Chains A and B, each alone.
Chain A
Amino acid sequence: MATGQAIETAPASGTFTPVDSRRRHVLDLDDFTAEEITAVLDDAAAMREVLSRDVKKVPTLRGKVVVTLFYEASTRTRISFEEAGKILSADVINMTATASSVEKGESLLNTGLTLQAMGVDAIVVRHPHSGAPHFLARSLKNVAVINAGDGAHAHPTQGLLDLYTARDHLGDLEGRKVVIVGDVLHSRVARSAVWGFAHLGASVVLCGPPTLLPDPFTSAGWGPGGNGAHNPLANVRIQPDLDAAIEGADLVMALRLQLERQKVGFFPSMREYIRRWQVNDARMARANPDALLMHPGPMNEGIEVSTALAHGERSLIEEQVTNGVAIRMALLYQLVGSGSGGD
């Protein structure tokens, strides 16, 4: 044997699984395996190191073109994709639905075909309609499609950055209790996070006003009573009472109350929502002593989460944003940088 120092990283070569070489797109986390998720999170750890440098620039994606195609408003997701691409030396072009031919009525398909004909390597798409990125991925032969949020369906890069942040603090997520509280019905963040945490073996409790807890989570295929042992969502539970749900939690994720969607009366009043479902210090006291808080942003401070908690020691909210850049770098590196190997 050698001189006996601990080698910090000594992988047995067989356990060093890369992201599946057949993967060309990232559309949701439901088709990821636990190994693939772990591979992305590990790559993101290397990207965090790049982010911590004085000069945040590596030549990895020189000559590659990434387009962000946003049909919905966004601050952190679009900017973090742009930053991720630029740090990796890709050329990043931002395209919004306003101020483009979309305003003249160009369809999503034709926009995608146009971008493909221009030779872009990846399209990062956000769209108000669920399934739009899947449609784009099916229609384009030579472009990697990354879903940056589609309707109320999925937001896989947010899910991955949530997993990264959680794993960074909690270590192995197997058996950990994660409570997702708020407007689950309208939340693509929750839908992707549920898959991700379930794949990594955490037990997930969904909490919120019963009117904002969607049926599919309780019917077949979701939660207990699904497809038996092979159902990755078998450990997902529903508990509308936050005080009960938060008992023994390791991680609490508050969702943004989508105020623009609340006109139709999902709950009686904002005061009642705050009283029953706001995550605050008193409620966190029921969780594990070192339980942590996450929020995907943008926050309605004082509504779904108290200001004191959001900016307190338990809050990982700012870290989530930093980790978001690292996760997007990891995905661009894998999808755009490396050869596909599976073609």
Chain B
Amino acid sequence: MSAHQTGAGLPQGNAPGFDATPLARRTTADSRGFFITTRSDTKPPAGTDERSTAGREIMDADEIRRALTRMFHEILERNHGADGLLLAGVRTRGVPIAERLAGHIRDSEGVAVPVGHLDINLYRDDLSERPRMRVRPTTMPVDVTGRTVVLCDDVLYTGRTVRAGMEAVSDLGRPLRIQLAALVDRGHRELPIRADFVGKNIPTRQSELVRVRLAETDGIDDVCILDRWVD
């Protein structure tokens, strides 16, 4: 709950008069636990379109940078250095996260940690229910066997992507261990999976959408909560 309060107290950027009502409603609804009904009979407030693009900012570029800085220290601490590490970015936005972590480690330790790109679409458990998804190559610069593979992703949610990612890594060889780094943990796990390294815990409703944007893929660094039904 404290993390939630922190998030709610962030400056709201260029939409100042905009968030008071939804935030208040959100807090009470969360505590009562019937937020979906509360939301569904509430019409979108005026200015909805503006809100859907602005979102509610949870992290800005500086906070993302600080979170990644802490995460790379934790990764090195947990693994007693960078030996045998392999950062595997889950496409799409896990890739720049892995690249940035590797960049931090290089700057700090002078060690080039290999970075792989992992596409998990071939391992999804809900492929038939999804719209068509492109699949792109999985590339690992080194053999995963015997390595400590740190899966890197932007948002940890149900855990199903991570399960698919672990299976994808295991198909490439037998890693010594697999760890998980996520920029955002938004809760609502559907599998017994937890992250080893988390940038920020963000309590959310399942009806909401957490949007992570990174400069490499989106031209800007930020994390926002959007209302799914507005989107």
Contacts and interface: CB of A to CB of B under 8 A. Distances in A.
Which size class do A's interface residues fall under?
A: 35 or more
A46 B138 contact: yes
Contacts of A21: 131-132
Interface stretch (B8-16, B35-43, B195-203, B212-220): B212-220
B137 interface: yes
A3 B99 contact: yes
A116 B217 CA distance: 43
Given A1-B215, A2-B215, A48 B103 contact: no
> Most chain-A Cβ atoms within 10 A of its Cβ — which of B99, B119, B121, B134?
B134
B123 A19 contact: no
Tell me if A's interface is mostly helix, strand, loop or mixed: loop
Interface in B125-144: 127-139
A49 interface: yes
B171 A341 contact: no
Interface string B186-225: 0000000000000000000000000000111110000000
B171 A18 contact: no
B167 interface: yes
Given A46-B136, A341-B132, A11 B123 contact: no
A10 interface: yes
A2 B122 contact: no
Contacts of B139: 8, 49
A217 interface: no
A294 to B, nearest CB: 23
Contacts, number: 106
B128 A337 contact: yes
> Most chain-A Cβ atoms within 10 A of its Cβ — which of B124, B216, B218?
B216
Contacts of A250: none
A341 B130 CA distance: 7
Given A49-B139, A53-B172, A337 B100 contact: no
Contacts of A118: none
B167 A59 contact: yes
Contacts of A9: 91-92, 95, 117, 136
Given A10-B216, A334-B132, A60 B122 contact: yes
B107 interface: yes
Contacts of B96: 2, 7, 10
Given A9-B91, A42-B134, A49-B138, A59 B103 contact: no
A2 B103 contact: yes
Interface in A235-267: none
11 contacts: A3-B107, A7-B217, A8-B139, A13-B218, A18-B134, A21-B132, A47-B135, A60-B124, A334-B132, A339-B127, A341-B132
Interface of B: 91-92, 95-96, 99-100, 102-104, 107, 117, 119, 121-124, 127-139, 167, 171-173, 214-218
Interface of A: 1-5, 7-13, 16-19, 21, 39, 42-43, 45-50, 53-55, 57-60, 88, 330, 333-334, 337-341
